[in-house]
Chains A and B, each alone.
Chain A
Amino acid sequence: MDAFGARTDGLAGRRRRPFLIRSAANAALAEAILIPIAAVGVAFVLFGLFLAVVGSPPLEVFSSIYRGAFGTWFSWQNTLVRAAPLMLVALCTTIPAQLGLVVIGGDGAVLLGGLMAALCGLVLAGAPAAVGLAVMAACAAVVGAGWIGLVGALRHYRGVNETISSLLFTYLAVSVFRHLVQGPLRDPETQNYPGTYPIDPAFAIGEIPSTNIHWGLAAGIVACIAIWIVIKRTPFGQAMRVVGGNPRAARIAGLPVGLLTVAACALGGAFAGLAGFFEVSAVIGRANSALYAHYGLSAVLVSFVARHNAAAVIPAAIAVGGIRAAGGLVQRAHGLPDATVMVFEGIVFLVVLWSASWYGRTPLSRMAADGK
């Protein structure tokens, strides 16, 4: 039960192992923590080499990245503001991934959800703030859910590949969004920067007290934890994981595979739509092209490096947010191009994805296996 137990154990094969690795489950847990850390370490080494080759002092740049991302309270807020939409949009990949689906079209749901929120904010002008915000958020979520739910429905009922269709759906959403915002829904006052009419200022959701971070962060964290619980602890989550593990068995067991597919995609889309709502309500105040911020593909990678574990999406999104937050300082302090942090982000993602092949193959799991 503790370190003592392992030491007093008489079996020769088990004596050499630290207590943590006593079982396969513990080994898996240790791997889940240590492998990402090791992978990020490898990424730092590779990025350091890259910097050295292009003639920048790696340690100084690392220290700027730290300062820009986590060095001060301001930097933390900068990081967290960037992480918030990534968390919500990553769930658009995480939830369908439980069923084995790869949805990469979160951006479309963000755009259309945000547009819907802006329209609700217009229609409800004058209503109590709580009502307005609730309706805006709900409508944004519903539109996002419908958009990605359609991807799920096409997948199940027509066999249309969800990865490609969600990509196509995003392009369609972008075109429809631009057409509406620059055309029929445009506020003539927004002459040089086309957008919809501004929402009632009462519907600006504001910031978490004594911070400069809007409520989207709280929503992102709560959503990730809630979805983690749903996936791990509820019958719905279990059913999704059964389908993801073996769809044929799931069907034989009588699980409603079609309903689960649509529901998982819709739920994911709802969170992406919600991300659009927060952009409109907390930041822009109307729908315009600033809403198309290309969170989608990064959010897909956030979900993958979190290994589609909703709780792990939180630290993954914060790490990516941190890299981006540091981008400005790296540019200003070292005269490096703005793409420097993009290179770093790419290296981190590549190495962490590569590290997926380390699971179950590290000395830790070998030791655990030896013990069997």
Chain B
Amino acid sequence: MTKSLALTRRQFIQSAFASAIVARYGIGALHAEEPITVGFLYVGAKDDYGYNQSHAESAKIIGELPYVRLIEEERVPETVEVQKSMQSMIELDGAKVLFPTSYGYYDPHVLAVAEQYPDVTFFHCGGLYEEGQPANVGTYWATVDQAQYVSGVTAAHMTKTGKFGMVSAVPIPDILRAVNSFLLGARTVRPDATMQIIYTGDWNVPVKEAEAVNSLADQGIDVVGCEVDSPKVIVETADKRGLYSCGVYASQAGLGAEGFLVSAIPTWAPICQYFLDKSIAKEPFEHTIIGGMAEGYVGNSEFGPAVSDEAKAAAMAAAEGLKSGTTKIYQGPLKDNEGNVRIADGESYSYGDPFIDGIDWLVEGVTGSSSI
């Protein structure tokens, strides 16, 4: 049987898009003109086993297109420096399409440069576009927390104690939702499951991340999830402590950690491909593309060696439910961890609903606060 559901689907998407391009423009049409210069900017190292790698992987797919010349810059800070890097790509390398991939690039940096260069299109990862902002800006995001729900289901099958931990960078809605979704997934299997959240205060602080895993281990927690830029250290430290771990953004299966279960990963390439096509054709595009499992933008990595067949089957069923829309992660009755009823009995919310985007509380069973 297939080891992974996401990888096969991703491969399918890639080939589907490639053939769509050829069908639309014809291979000859693609080669006829000068290749278009496409720039990717990353806030960290592009082989970080995490967030930046997820974008670099999609850049690689884009860069292999015959009509694309790919340029990349790593470790571009979210300051005026990113404005200068984008301008430099446009002015010195003739870039026509830019993908600034870090959340903090958007306001004011992407907006400022986009206004200055109306002929260049900017596609920012973060889902931040608002009415009235420059027409040459698009934004995208993937609801990775849906895959965290599947990770939660997997983890709940593997845990002995029913106690989970999540090492998180900062208390922001995306992370809070990932914590909630993980626990809600786990609770479909283990209704008594609990979750401890620890913030490290920043996106790449290896010593603090390792220390957080250790203190979780001391609490008797046996599965550690994470929401940081580079999960490598968390997966490896969990392995040293004999814990299970779930990764995020990129597959950590390659690390060879025995306790690694599964990763929640976004697949940006189809979205990038859509924006790129529209830019080349000079057609108007959707300014905001946010999708999840149903759209194929989010999935899970291959499973680690420890995962039982039973857990795999349950995870795949959960993923199918999310994909088809039959499973709702946020449905009542649901209380937050301060006892307030957030979703009444019988109500439920689908992704895309503003309610989901506005979640700034933690569900019942999570220890830790929604701020530091």
A–B contact via C-beta, under 8 angstroms = yes
Closest Cβ–Cβ distance, residue B227 to chain A (whole Å):
12
- CA gap between A284 and B80 in the complex, in Å: 8
Q: Are B172's CB and A285's CB within 8 A?
A: no
Q: Are A194's CB and B84's CB within 8 A?
A: no
Q: Report B334-372 CB contacts with A as 1/0, cut-off 8 Å.
A: 000000000000000000000000001000000000011
Q: Are A178's CB and B201's CB within 8 A?
A: yes
- CA gap between A289 and B203 in the complex, in Å: 12
Q: Which residues of B contact A289 (CB under 8 A)?
A: 78, 104
- Checking A74, A283, A293 against B88 with a beta-carbon cut-off of 8 angstroms, the contacting residue is A74
Given contacts A74-B91, A193-B104, contact A332 B84 (CB under 8 A): no
Select the stretch in A20-28, A53-61, A75-83, A296-304 that faces chain B: A75-83
Interface centre among A68, A78, A82, A285 (most CB of B within 10 A): A78
* Selected A-B contacts with CB under 8 Å, 19 pairs: A67-B92, A72-B91, A75-B88, A82-B80, A82-B81, A182-B371, A182-B372, A191-B172, A192-B126, A279-B80, A283-B80, A284-B108, A285-B107, A288-B104, A293-B81, A324-B81, A329-B92, A332-B73, A337-B74
Q: Report A298-342 CB contacts with B as 1/0, cut-off 8 Å.
A: 000000000000000000000000001100110110000110000
Q: Which residues 49-102 of B have a CB within 8 angstroms of A?
A: 71-81, 84-85, 87-89, 91-93
Interface membership of B170, Cβ < 8 A: yes
Q: Which residues of B contact A126 (CB under 8 A)?
A: none
Q: Which residues of B contact A324 (CB under 8 A)?
A: 81
Q: Are A81's CB and B126's CB within 8 A?
A: no
Interface membership of A212, Cβ < 8 A: yes
- Checking B87, B174, B201 against A78 with a beta-carbon cut-off of 8 angstroms, the contacting residue is B87
Closest Cβ–Cβ distance, residue B139 to chain A (whole Å):
12
Given contacts A183-B371, A285-B108, contact A338 B72 (CB under 8 A): no
Residue of A nearest to B95 (CB): A332
B: residues with CB less than 8 A from A are: 71-81, 84-85, 87-89, 91-93, 103-104, 107-108, 116, 126, 170, 172-174, 201, 360, 371-372
Closest Cβ–Cβ distance, residue B207 to chain A (whole Å):
16
- CA gap between A112 and B210 in the complex, in Å: 31
Q: Are A328's CB and B84's CB within 8 A?
A: yes
Residue of A nearest to B360 (CB): A191
- Checking B78, B84, B107, B173 against A325 with a beta-carbon cut-off of 8 angstroms, the contacting residue is B84
- Checking A74, A193, A331 against B103 with a beta-carbon cut-off of 8 angstroms, the contacting residue is A193
- CA gap between A21 and B371 in the complex, in Å: 67
Q: Are B75's CB and A338's CB within 8 A?
A: yes
Q: Which residues 27-69 of A have a CB within 8 angstroms of B?
A: 67-68
Given contacts A284-B108, A332-B72, contact A191 B173 (CB under 8 A): yes
Interface membership of A222, Cβ < 8 A: no
Residue of A nearest to B77 (CB): A293
Q: Which residues of A contact B107 (CB under 8 A)?
A: 193, 285
Closest Cβ–Cβ distance, residue A199 to chain B (whole Å):
11
Lowest 4 A-B CB distances belong to which pairs?
A74-B91, A192-B172, A332-B71, A328-B85
How many chain-A residues does the 8 Å CB contact rule pick out?
32
- CA gap between A283 and B79 in the complex, in Å: 8
Q: Are A82's CB and B84's CB within 8 A?
A: yes
- CA gap between A65 and B83 in the complex, in Å: 19
Closest Cβ–Cβ distance, residue B200 to chain A (whole Å):
12
Residue of A nearest to B106 (CB): A193
- CA gap between A207 and B92 in the complex, in Å: 22
Q: Are B104's CB and A290's CB within 8 A?
A: yes
Closest Cβ–Cβ distance, residue B91 to chain A (whole Å):
4
Given contacts A284-B108, A332-B72, A338-B75, contact A194 B88 (CB under 8 A): no
Q: Which residues of A contact B372 (CB under 8 A)?
A: 182-183
Q: Which residues of A contact B87 (CB under 8 A)?
A: 74, 78, 212
Q: Which residues of A contact B76 (CB under 8 A)?
A: 328
Q: Which residues of B contact A329 (CB under 8 A)?
A: 88, 92-93
- CA gap between A321 and B33 in the complex, in Å: 37
Closest Cβ–Cβ distance, residue A107 to chain B (whole Å):
13
Closest Cβ–Cβ distance, residue B103 to chain A (whole Å):
6
Q: Which residues of B contact A328 (CB under 8 A)?
A: 73, 76, 84-85, 88-89
Given contacts A72-B91, A75-B92, contact A290 B78 (CB under 8 A): yes
Residue of B nearest to A73 (CB): B91
- CA gap between A139 and B170 in the complex, in Å: 30
- CA gap between A191 and B171 in the complex, in Å: 9
Q: Which residues of A contact B170 (CB under 8 A)?
A: 182, 194
Closest Cβ–Cβ distance, residue B131 to chain A (whole Å):
15
- Checking B79, B92, B104, B173 against A293 with a beta-carbon cut-off of 8 angstroms, the contacting residue is B79
Q: Which residues of A contact B172 (CB under 8 A)?
A: 191-194
Residue of B nearest to A282 (CB): B80
Interface centre among A193, A293, A325, A331 (most CB of B within 10 A): A193
